[in-house]
A and B are shown apart, each in its own frame.
Chain A
Amino acid sequence: MTKFFKDYSREKLDKVLEKIGVKNVEELYSDVPDSIKIKGEVNLPKALDEIEVEEYFEKVLGKNIVHDEVLTFLGAGLPPHYVPAAVEAIVSRSEFYTAYTPYQPEISQGILQALFEYQSMVCELTGMDVANSSMYDWATGAAEALRMALRVKGKKKVLVGENIGPERKSVIRTYLEPLECDVLEVSYDSVSGRIDLVDLENKVKDSCALYIENPNFFGIIEKDALKMADIIHNEGGIFIVGIDPISLGLLKPPGEYGADIVVGEGQSLGGWLNFGGPSLGIFACKGDMTLVRQMPGRIIGMTTDLSGERRAFTMVLQTREQHIRREQATSNICTNEALMAVATVAYLALLGSRGLRKLAVEIFERAHYACRRLSEVKNVIAPYFSGEFYQEFTLKLIGGDINKFFNRVVDKKIIPGVILTRYFPKLDNVLLSCFTEVHTIEDIERLVETFKEVMA
Chain B
Amino acid sequence: MFRQARWNEPLLNELSKEEDNFEKVKLEGLPDEVIREKLDIPNLTEKRVIRHFMRLSQMNFGVDFGTYPLGSCTMKYNPKICERIVSNPKLKMLHPLQPQETCQGILQILYELAQCLVEITGAYKASLVPSAGAHGEFVGALMVRSAIKDKGELDTRREMIIPDSAHGTNPASAAMAGFRIVKVPSNSEGLVDIEALKGVVGKRTAGIMLTVPNTLGLFEKNILEIVSIVKEAGGYTYYDGANLNALIGKVRPGDMGFDIIHLNLHKTFATPHGGGGPGSGPVCASKEVEEYLPVPLIEFDGRKYYLEYNRPKSIGLVKGFYGNISVLVKAYAYIRLLGSKGLRNTSERAVVNSNYLLSLLDKRFYEVPYGTSMPRKHEFVVSVGKALREKGVSAKDIAKALIDYGVHAPTIYFPLIVQEALMIEPTETEEFEEIEEYARILNEIAYRAYSDPEWVKGTPYNTSVERIDEAKASHPRTMCLNWKNLKKV
Contacts and interface: CB of A to CB of B under 8 A. Distances in A.
Interface in A197-229: 221, 223
A108 B60 contact: yes
B163 interface: no
B126 interface: no
Contact of B356 (A16, A29, A101, A124): A16
Contacts of B172: 322, 325-327, 329, 331-332
A352 B42 CA distance: 5
B78 A98 contact: yes
A61 B320 contact: no
B434 to A, nearest CB: 10
A123 B279 CA distance: 25
A124 B282 CA distance: 35
Contacts of B135: 136, 140, 333
B62 interface: yes
Given A93-B53, A332-B172, A61 B90 contact: yes
A276 interface: yes
B374 A31 contact: yes
A86 B46 contact: yes
Contact of A111 (B83, B86, B275, B348): B275
A445 interface: no
A35 B137 CA distance: 28
A19 B439 CA distance: 13
Contacts of A339: 272, 274-278
B483 A86 contact: no
Interface stretch (B20-28, B230-238, B440-448): B20-28
A394 interface: no
A250 B35 contact: yes
Interface string A76-119: 11101000101001101111111111111111111101111101
Interface in A1-51: 2, 4-6, 8, 12, 16-17, 19-22, 25, 27-33, 35-38, 41-48, 50
Contacts of A29: 219, 250-251, 351, 375
B240 to A, nearest CB: 12
Contact of B316 (A63, A103, A174, A322): A174
Interface stretch (A183-191, A301-309, A447-455): A301-309
Contacts of A350: 44, 46, 49
B329 interface: yes
Contacts of B474: 301, 316-319
B466 interface: yes
Interface range on chain A (Cβ under 8 Å from partner): 35 or more
Interface residues of B, number: 195
A57 B333 contact: yes
Interface stretch (A155-163, A230-238, A341-349, A374-382): A341-349
Given A17-B352, A57-B88, A96 B274 contact: yes
Interface in A291-339: 292, 298-308, 310-312, 314, 316-319, 321-329, 331-339
Interface in B300-335: 315-327, 329, 333, 335
A277 B102 CA distance: 17
Interface centre among A101, A109, A139, A140 (most CB of B within 10 A): A109
A435 to B, nearest CB: 13
Given A116-B482, A174-B294, A305 B106 contact: no
17 contacts: A5-B345, A21-B359, A22-B355, A25-B352, A31-B219, A42-B119, A53-B85, A67-B93, A98-B65, A120-B12, A131-B482, A310-B466, A322-B134, A335-B132, A335-B133, A335-B277, A410-B99
The 6 closest A-B pairs by CB, nearest first: A47-B339, A276-B321, A338-B276, A110-B60, A98-B62, A178-B178
